[in-house]
Amino acid sequence: RKEVEQDPGPFNVPEGATVAFNCTYSNSASQSFFWYRQDCRKEPKLLMSVYSSGNEDGRFTAQLNRASQYISLLIRDSKLSDSATYLCVVTQDTGRRALTFGSGTRLQVQP
Amino acid sequence: GAGVSQSPSNKVTEKGKDVELRCDPISGHTALYWYRQSLGQGLEFLIYFQGNSAPDKSGLPSDRFSAERTGGSVSTLTIQRTQQEDSAVYLCASSLSAGHSSGYTFGSGTRLTVV
């Protein structure tokens, strides 16, 4: 089983739609959680950190469920510019190989 | 600079030659990672540096790969006797510390092509 698993997609949604991605992780000692976005042939960029209480940044909402070991990302009112690959990132603060990426979920927002 | 700087941005090399890739992390960031990404694939962990601790080299695919980080700042990734399967984008990321809530900042990568 992979340490971090994501549905690769693609998710094809119309503009204005709400879309949600999930990510599961296998290591219960995981400490920090992030969502990154990666545009085609570009480096990953931090979208948002994920906190236990859940957090929101504009149209984006991230949730963490430690008991079930998954995190989610909800995008409301999708824009064409949201088209990208969304990477789930999990870390352990033990100092050993602390940053683990999921393979990403591809989102295509269509006009 | 304000971001993570990587050089060169593109490198074409002949099979069998050695290459050296450079990463300048954000000033003050103690954690530094090297990843590589082949076309259409996910990020593959290579090596991780945290402060003055011994690096975690568990992701290096073979002994042709090595990396060092001098003075806790600049890092170089060296690939000896390059092979065609080494062709990928090599990404460097840095963070204030491992797992820091501010996340990890990536450089724009070095696109390596072995011909």
- Please report which confidence band the pLDDT of residue B103 belongs to, taking 50, 70 and 90 as the band edges: confident
| Least confident residue range of B7-21, B60-74, B76-90 | B60-74
Q: Which two tokens stand for residue B75?
A: 């890092």
The pLDDT score that the predictor gives to residue A96 is 55
- Please report which confidence band the pLDDT of residue A7 belongs to, taking 50, 70 and 90 as the band edges: very high
Partner A, chain B 26-55, Cβ-Cβ below 8 Å: 31, 33, 35, 41-43, 45, 48, 50, 53
Chain A neighbors of B98, CB-CB under 8 A: 91, 93, 95, 98-99
**Kindly report the CA angle at A17 between A12 and A20, in degrees rounded to 5?**
70
Q: Given the structure tokens 């990396």, which residue do they identify?
A: B67
- Gap from B115 CA to chain A (nearest CA, Å): 20
The pLDDT score that the predictor gives to residue B96 is 87
- Gap from A79 CA to chain B (nearest CA, Å): 23
Among positive and negative, which fits the CA dihedral A63, A5, B112, B72?
positive
The pLDDT score that the predictor gives to residue A2 is 77
Side chain identity at residue B1, one-letter code = G
Q: Which two tokens stand for residue B46?
A: 């290579």
The pLDDT score that the predictor gives to residue B50 is 87
The pLDDT score that the predictor gives to residue A97 is 55
The pLDDT score that the predictor gives to residue A109 is 98
Q: Whose CA is closest to A69, among A19, A3, A25, A110? A: A25
Residue B52 CB neighbour total at 10 angstroms: 9
> For A25-80, how does the pLDDT look when each residue is reduced to its tens digit (9 = 90+)?
998 888 789 999 999 989 999 999 998 888 999 999 999 999 999 999 999 999 99
Give the start-end residues of each E strand in chain A: 4-6, 11-14, 19-25, 32-38, 45-50, 55-57, 60-65, 70-75, 84-91, 99-101, 105-110
| Least confident residue range of A25-34, A65-74, B12-21, B62-71 | A25-34
- Is pLDDT of A95 > 60? no
Chain A neighbors of B107, CB-CB under 8 A: 43
Please say whether the beta carbons of B69 and B32 come within 8 A: yes
- Mean pLDDT to the nearest integer, A83-97: 80
The pLDDT score that the predictor gives to residue A93 is 62
- Please report which confidence band the pLDDT of residue A94 belongs to, taking 50, 70 and 90 as the band edges: low
| Least confident residue range of A86-95, B29-38, B56-65, B103-112 | A86-95
The pLDDT score that the predictor gives to residue A100 is 85
Q: Nearest-CA residue of chain A relative to B90? A: A43
Please say whether the beta carbons of B79 and B64 come within 8 A: yes
Cβ distance B58 to A97 less than 8 Å, yes or no, reads yes
- Is pLDDT of B12 > 70? yes
Q: How many CB pairs under 8 A join A and B?
A: 62
Cβ distance B100 to A46 less than 8 Å, yes or no, reads no
Among positive and negative, which fits the CA dihedral A4, A58, A43, A96?
negative
- Gap from B82 CA to chain A (nearest CA, Å): 22
Mean pLDDT of chain B: 92
A32-38 and A45-50 strand pairing: antiparallel
